[in-house]
Amino acid sequence: TPRHATPSIPSRTLAARQPTNVLEEARTRLHVSSVPESLPCREQEFQDIYSFVESKIIDGTGGCMYISGVPGTGKTATVHEVMRCLQHVADVDEIPPFNFVEINGMKMTDPHQAYVQILQKLTGQKATADHAAVLLEKRFSSPAPRQETTVLLVDELDLLWTRKQNVMYNLFDWPTRRHARLVVLTIANTMDLPERIMINRVASRLGLTRMSFQPYGFKQLQQIITSRLNKVKAFEEDALQLVSRKVAALSGDARRCLDICRRATEICEHSAPDPSATGLVGMSHVMEALDEMFSSPYITAIKCASVQEQLFLRAVIAEFRRLGLEEATFQQVFVQHQALCRVEGLGPVGVSEGRAACQRLGACRLLLLEPSRLGLLQRVRLNVSQDDVLYALKAD
């Protein structure tokens, strides 16, 4: 019956194939999902969170911590590692045992579902959101002998925002109760989130224990890749340096770095003359992967557009120059379009043909358009810079 179903994906008939050569091995290791045993370059942050949680568990008190940083800087991974280590220490009885509960704002449909998920992970009970809130309130406010400390990790905190902010208020208010023994670790992207979206009484309960994860520098990214590869020799030194320098300059996102390396191994594999004798991943392969992932598709799209579409783009620019504005109606552009057609020696272009070209450019977002029922009065803007358009049209 669906009520007591155990969620699972059917298992496969044939086991997955294991990697056979160096590049495949490297690719498996470089996949974002294969989180290493210990995270390089986050020792300081690890230590801070570790001592914060450890002290709370030993003292049997509660508290909050706010962790921020741009995506892909290892926030969640670090917290998970801390919890793994603490669990290990608790298993050998050096600190009192504790519960670990994790919720993620993006993985629930509504902020109030947080109560349901916390309750279910703590006690296994299923309840509606309101009922779960009451039960949790009772659990955290009434004294109970031999209650274990609970560590609650709230990922993507900004998604728990509601108009009255009661979910966030409760999450930060429970740790302040005397008997709660609750440690709340919250993770979000922006550093100033508490000041921006929280009302005073919520922000004050969150407290000032904050930590921000800086984006990785190029040396750190390089170290991360090397530690992942763990002596599998698949990359040239320079190639690694190029990837890490490029990514560090753009975002410092470790996921991006790993994805590019993985793509580079594929390119290397394809470019090799026979599959058995693939060399190391070199500069050229990495360059190609970087181009693929960072280059903008607009220029090739303009180059490959049909003649009328290219003419329309030129007409748009001509009209913008004439008006001195960055916006024109279709009718104004169309006059230029007709003139350009005459100059180019093409046959006269009809209104519906011109509009079709305009709509096609709008559909792939080279142009930004108003709704098409406005007909001739529809206003047109460029979604790319004029220089890009001119460059793309001139190049051939």
Partner 1 sequence: MMESCVTHAPSWSSQQMRGVSANQMPEMKSSQEVVIVIIINMSKRKVKDDHMPVGECITQVQSILRERFCHQKLPEKPQAVEAQHKHLLELLKRTAIHGESNSVLIVGPRGTGKTMLLKCVLRELLGDKEVQKNMLEVHLNGLLQTDDKIALKEITRQLHLENTVGDKVFGSFAENLSFLLEALKKGNRSSSRPVLFVLDEFDLFALHKNQTLLYNLFDVSQSAQAPIAVVGVTCRLDVLELLEKRVKSRFSHRQIHLVSSLTFTQYLERVRTQFSLPGSFPDAKFAQEWNASVKTLCEDKSVEEVLQRHFNSSKDFRSMHMLLMLCLSRVSVAKPTVNPSDLLEASRLCLSDAKADMLHGLSILELCLIIAMKHLNDVYEGEPFNLQMVHNEFKKFLQRKSNSMYNFEQPVVMKAFEHLQQLELIRPVDASSAKTQREYQLMRLMLDHSQIMEALQKYPQCPTDVKQWAMSAFG
With CB under 8 A as the contact rule, the residue among 60, 199, 377, 391 that binds partner 1 is: 377
Instruction: Identify residues 247-286 at the interface with partner 1 (CB under 8 A).
Output: 253, 255-256, 259, 262-263, 266, 270
Q: What is the dihedral of CA 49, 52, 53, 54, to 10 degrees?
A: 110
- Give dist(CA 118, CA 138) in Å, integer: 14
With CB under 8 A as the contact rule, the residue among 10, 143, 273, 345 that binds partner 1 is: 10
Measured from the CB atom, the residue of 57 and 167 that comes closer to partner 1 is 167
> Using N-to-C axis directions, what is the helix angle for 129-141 and 113-123, rounded to 10°?
60
Measured from the CB atom, the residue of 145 and 297 that comes closer to partner 1 is 297
CB 255 → partner 1: shortest distance, Å? 6
Site for partner 1 contains 16 (CB under 8 A): yes
Tokens of 318: 């001509």
Site for partner 1 contains 2 (CB under 8 A): yes
Measured from the CB atom, the residue of 287 and 301 that comes closer to partner 1 is 301
Site for partner 1 contains 163 (CB under 8 A): no
- Give dist(CA 55, CA 201) in Å, integer: 25
What mask, x for binding partner 1 by CB under 8 A, covers residues 354 to 373? --xx--x--xxxx------x
Phi, psi of 168, deg, nearest 5: -65, -40
Instruction: Identify residues 29-88 at the interface with partner 1 (CB under 8 A).
Output: 31-35, 70-72
Number of residues that bind partner 1 (CB under 8 A): 82
Closest Cα to residue 246, out of 221, 268, 224, 228?
Answer: 221
Measured from the CB atom, the residue of 88 and 303 that comes closer to partner 1 is 303
- Give dist(CA 148, CA 311) in Å, integer: 72
Closest Cα to residue 243, out of 277, 284, 195?
Answer: 284
Site for partner 1 contains 388 (CB under 8 A): no
Measured from the CB atom, the residue of 169 and 298 that comes closer to partner 1 is 298
Closest Cα to residue 387, out of 283, 256, 299?
Answer: 299
